[in-house]
Amino acid sequence: MNHRPKKRFGQNFLQDRHIIDGILAAAALEPRDRVLEIGPGLGVLTDRLLPSVARLHVIEIDRDLVEGLQARTAPHLTVHVGDALALDWEAILCEPPYKLVANLPYNISSQILFKILDHRHLFSRLVLMFQQEVGDRLCAAPGGRDYGILSVLCQVWFDIRRVLRVAPGAFYPPPKVYSSVLCFEALARPRIEIADERFFRRTVKAAFGQRRKTLRNSLAGGGLGFDGLEDALREVGIDSGRRAETLSLEEFGRLAQVLARHVSPA
Ligand X SMILES: C[S@@+](CC[C@H](N)C(=O)[O-])C[C@H]1O[C@@H](n2cnc3c(N)ncnc32)[C@H](O)[C@@H]1O
Going by the annotation, the residues of the binding site are: 12, 14, 39, 60, 83, 103
The span from the first CA to the last CA of the chain, in angstroms, equals 52
Interacting residue ranges for ligand X, rule: CB under 6 A: 9-14, 38-42, 44-45, 59-62, 65, 83-85, 103, 105, 108
Contact between 175 and 12 (Cβ < 8 Å): yes
* Beta strand extents in 89-157 (DSSP E only): 98-103, 123-131
| H helix and E strand count, the chain | 11, 9
Instruction: Name the closest residue to ligand X (Cβ).
Output: 39
> Cβ 154 to ligand X, closest distance in Å?
20
Which lies closer to ligand X via its Cβ, residue 127 or residue 247?
A: 127
Question: Which residue, 27 or 204, has its beta carbon nearer to ligand X?
Answer: 27
Closer residue to ligand X in complex, CB, 12/203: 12
Q: For ligand X, give the closer residue by CB, 74 or 236.
A: 74
Least distance (Å) between residue 141 CB and ligand X? 28
CA distance 221 to 236: 21
* Residue 106 CB, nearest approach to ligand X (Å): 8
- Angle 162-166-168 (CA atoms, 0-180°, nearest 5)? 150
Per the CB < 8 A criterion, the answer to whether 53 and 35 are in contact is: yes
Half-sphere exposure at residue 219, Cβ-oriented, CA atoms within 13 angstroms: 29
Tell me the one-letter amino acid at 55. R
Shortest CB 40 distance to ligand X, Å: 5
Positions at the binding site for S-adenosyl-L-methionine: 12, 14, 39, 60, 83, 103
Look at residue 125 and give its three-state secondary structure. strand
Cβ closer to ligand X: 112 or 153? 112
**Whole-number minimum distance, CB 112 to ligand X, in Å?**
8
Query: d(Cα 126, Cα 159) in Å, to the nearest integer?
Result: 10
Classify residue 9 by its DSSP letter. Answer: G
